[in-house]
Amino acid sequence: MAQNFSLKDQLFNAEKTRYLAGLFAAADPGFDTDAFQAKVMSRLPDLELKERMAWIATCLQQAVPGDLPHVAPTLLAALPPPLDPTKTDDDFGDFIFAPLGDWVVDVGLDHPDLALDVIEELTQRFSMEWAIRPFLNHHPDKVMARLEDWCDHDSYHVRRLVSEGTRPRLPWGQAVGLNLTDPLPLLDRLHADRTRYVTRSVANHLNDITKKDPELVLSRLQSWSQDAHQDADELRWMTTHTLRGLVKSGHPKAMKMLGFDPEAEVSVNIAVLGEARIGGALEFDVALTGEGDQPVLVDYIVHFQRPGGKTSAKVHKLKQSALRDGALKLGKKHKLKADATTFKLVPGAHRLEIQVNGRVRAGIDFELLG
């Protein structure tokens, strides 16, 4: 990624604003494109990503004033054709339509039936999981009933919204007052979907639940496996994706469900190669020994020094493999970025540990040089 790359500038900028204005001008001859663009750009460069969404929604409300029954015809007429229905994944849509969801929330909470009709159309241009959550909080029964209908929708974007919009820990999303079990009947139907875009959302939803109730998730996955409504390979992928958080924490039942024995007798030797220096890399070799050709899931944990003398452990994937004739050799070069914006490295004593099938098997101390 380029050093000066800006996601907010790529997603919301003058060109995107001009495109959106053109769509509304085509739908409403009275729409003042110049005034709208000038208004948006007067503040856009100073705002962060989510703030830009809210600001564009505000500018749209000023350009097309009124409550949802008044503005919905113009809003719907301005939409481009739906996203390609022949795809099955990786078609999130254009972020410039995200503010339309904010707009619907701002002017439509008192008109839930119409708002859900509009959201059904919008999510086929850009995913509306953030927009539907305020309606879940204000009109839970009405929204849940609509979500049940959407489980059978022709558009996989609408089906995905059922799972994504009800996630317990949706990134950037408003918290919702649902119990963890409330959406499970919906997921029971969606887990057999034939599009990865939907099944990934179901897996992410279940991964959210594992933070609060791992047993609930494990029992659901077991039930789905027994029901056999989903392709076995796809359900195996969903299970792995769902349990990734539990795997990092070494949850024994999650390990067993994935075919790895936490109690397996495996010995580990670690060798740190050369110096570990900020701006360079931590390079190490790992040798595993055990019985036969048993499967192994190998992670490595780096215990980083933090300012003030505390430490912070980060788990990283190393290899999903199997012993061959009782042995497996692995190597890794872990980059130690000096200019990372999310995690500042601190020189000093650090520790590297190797986790196999969810259990820490060996560790070694090393010095991180500045």
Say which CATH number the domain at 275 has. 2.60.40.10
How many contiguous H segments (helices) and E segments (strands) does the chain have? 16, 8
| CA dist., res. 274 & res. 316, Å (int) | 21
Confidence of residue 4 (pLDDT cuts 50, 70, 90): low
Domain around 345: 266-369
188 Cβ contact partners less than 8 Å away, ≥ 6 residues apart: 220, 224
Question: Which burial class, exposed, middle or buried, applies to 30 when counting CB atoms under 10 A from its CB (0-12, 13-18, 19+)?
Answer: exposed
Confidence of residue 1 (pLDDT cuts 50, 70, 90): very low
**How many structural domains is the chain composed of?**
2
Residue 310: predicted pLDDT: 85
Same domain, 236 and 308: no
Asked whether residue 358 is assigned to any structural domain, the reply reads yes
Asked whether residue 255 is assigned to any structural domain, the reply reads no
Which residues, listed in sequence order, are joined to residue 268 by a DSSP beta bridge?
A: 288
Instruction: Give the residue from 179, 210, 242 where a domain finishes.
Output: 242
| CA dist., res. 269 & res. 206, Å (int) | 35
Residue 6: predicted pLDDT: 84
Instruction: Using the predicted structure, report yes or no on whether residue 90 has a pLDDT greater than 90.
Output: no
Asked whether residue 165 is assigned to any structural domain, the reply reads yes
Asked whether residue 287 is assigned to any structural domain, the reply reads yes
> Beta strands 295-305 and 266-273: pairing type?
unpaired
Asked whether residue 175 is assigned to any structural domain, the reply reads yes
85: CATH: 1.25.40.290
Contact 138, 108 (CB under 8 A): no
Same domain, 163 and 274: no
| CA dist., res. 67 & res. 58, Å (int) | 13
Summarize pLDDT for 25-65 with one digit per residue, the tens.
999 999 999 999 999 999 999 999 999 999 999 999 999 99
Same domain, 271 and 221: no
Residue 5: predicted pLDDT: 65
Tokens describing residue 61? 């409300």
Instruction: Using the predicted structure, report yes or no on whether residue 368 has a pLDDT greater than 90.
Output: yes
Contact 351, 366 (CB under 8 A): yes
Same domain, 228 and 279: no
Asked whether residue 10 is assigned to any structural domain, the reply reads no
Instruction: Using the predicted structure, report yes or no on whether residue 2 has a pLDDT greater than 50.
Output: no
Specify the long-range contacts of residues 18-22, CB closer than 8 Å, at least 24 apart.
19/96, 20/56, 20/96, 20/97
More confident residue, 338 or 175: 175
User: Helix, strand or coil for residue 92?
Assistant: coil
Confidence of residue 88 (pLDDT cuts 50, 70, 90): confident
Summarize pLDDT for 151-170 with one digit per residue, the tens.
999 999 999 999 999 999 99
Q: Which residue has the tokens 């594992």?
A: 210
3-state helix, strand, coil in the chain (%, to 5): 45, 20, 35
Same domain, 305 and 188: no
> Could you please report the per-residue DSSP string of 248-302?
HTT-HHHHHHTT--TT--EEEEEEEES-EETTSEEEEEEEEEESTT-EEEEEEEE
Same domain, 70 and 124: yes
Asked whether residue 37 is assigned to any structural domain, the reply reads no
Same domain, 73 and 207: yes
Residue % of the chain over a pLDDT of 70: 99
Same domain, 309 and 191: no
Summarize pLDDT for 116-145 with one digit per residue, the tens.
999 999 999 999 999 999 999 999 999 999
Summarize pLDDT for 290-334 with one digit per residue, the tens.
999 999 999 999 999 988 778 899 999 999 999 999 999 999 999
Instruction: Using the predicted structure, report yes or no on whether residue 8 has a pLDDT greater than 80.
Output: yes
Asked whether residue 130 is assigned to any structural domain, the reply reads yes
> Could you please report the per-residue DSSP string of 169-204?
T-TTPPP----TTTTHHHHHHHTT-S-HHHHHHHHH
Q: What is the mean pLDDT of the chain?
A: 95
Same domain, 335 and 226: no
Sign of the Cα torsion 246, 162, 136, 79 reads positive
Summarize pLDDT for 247-291 with one digit per residue, the tens.
989 999 999 999 999 999 999 999 999 999 999 999 999 999 999
Same domain, 71 and 220: yes
Same domain, 198 and 87: yes
